[in-house]
Amino acid sequence: MKSSTQRIAGLSCAVALLLAATGCTTSVRQVTDTRPVLRNSAPSTMSELRIADTALESNNFDLATSLYEKAVQADPKSVPGLTGLGNTLYSVGDYTRAGVYYQRASQIDPKATPPLIGIARVAIHQRRFDDAIATYRRVLTITPNDPLACAGLGAALDMSGDHAHAQALLREALIANPGDPMLSVNLGLSLTLAGDPRQGANVLLDVTRFPAAPPQARQNLALAYGLLGNDDAAAAILSRDLPKASVQDNLRYYELQRMRDGQTTRAQPAKSVAVSSVATPKVQTASVK
């Protein structure tokens, strides 16, 4: 079997940050901090920010952008408004401009964690893993054991090839946050990427047995089964979320990856293999997506 570093290189197309997909099937949703209505806050602005958050979660980017921009026009130092604009840009793949808004928000309030998490997510997409790791660790000094930051840090460590530290961190985070689905999803994927798809599948099965399990959990489980050679199980899982053509593309990728891991061939995946179920650690939200 190849080294962990080689395995990560071999899985680069599966771990393309859509992140990924994120990983992945990677529609993006980030939950910003809950905002209590403060005595001196303008009720209309607070209401509009909540509507903007809901619009963003529903992928209504035009409405979300309009409302966040209105909040920033009313208050150029609105951290929720600037962070929301960053989130909408991140959601449509404009990571560079998203980073600008996250940075502006963080400069206004260095202890606000949502813009810091946005900065870290952008760093992962730009493959600046050291920067992402440092930023997530900064978040954890502000809010220890925060599940969103722990899941993101685990993803950043994994994508830098440091699976052992990623798994140790995620296991510790699960002790502090028992049952958190994204921590479990990232742990299962980490084990799979580290060369232990059987153990990864066992972890992911605990998540996917729930009806409300996130699609990413199922897709990572399909990856684990695919690397184990159980294409029938992988196809059945993928079929829940993907069209038949995408399922077949993924199965072809799994086969090529098995061949590479078995050192029976050095061939790279054919360019025609478009992996629709992107396997990558989830970093957008603490719950699902």
Residue-range definition of the domain harbouring residue 235: 1-27+167-289
Picking from 116, 42, 99, 288, the residue whose alpha carbon sits closest to that of residue 185 is 288
Per the domain annotation, does 85 fall within a domain? no
Q: For 174-186, how does the pLDDT look when each residue is reduced to its tens digit (9 = 90+)?
A: 999 999 999 999 9
How far does CA 185 lie from the centroid of its chain? 10
Predicted pLDDT of residue 6: 44
> pLDDT band for position 45 (50/70/90)?
confident
Distance CA 37, CA 100 (A): 27
Q: What is the pLDDT of residues 55-76, one digit of tens each?
A: 999 999 999 999 999 999 999 9
Report DSSP state, residue 151. Answer: H
- Give domain status of residue 176, yes or no: yes
In a domain, 197, yes or no: yes
Q: Does residue 273 carry a pLDDT above 80?
A: no
Q: For the packed helices 43-57 and 61-74, what is the interaxial angle rounded to 10 degrees?
A: 150
| CATH, residue 228 | 1.25.40
Backbone angles phi, psi at 18, to 5 degrees: -80, -50
Total domain count, the chain: 1
Mean pLDDT of the chain: 80
pLDDT digits (tens, 9 = 90+) for 145-180: 999 999 999 999 999 999 999 999 999 999 999 999
Q: pLDDT tens digit string along 192-237?
A: 999 999 999 999 999 999 888 888 899 999 999 999 999 999 999 9
Residue 132 maps to a domain = no
User: Within a domain: residue 44?
Assistant: no
The string of DSSP letters for 4-65 reads HHHHHHHTTTTT--BTB----S-----PPPP----TTS-HHHHHHHHHHHHHHHTT-HHHHH
Report, as an integer, the average pLDDT of 2-8. 45
pLDDT (average), residues 102-114:
97
Whether 86 is covered by a domain: the verdict is no
List the single range of 36-45, 107-116, 235-244 with lowest mean pLDDT. Answer: 36-45
Q: Which pLDDT tens digit goes with each residue over 117-151?
A: 999 999 999 999 999 999 999 999 999 999 999 99
In a domain, 74, yes or no: no
94 assigned to some structural domain: no
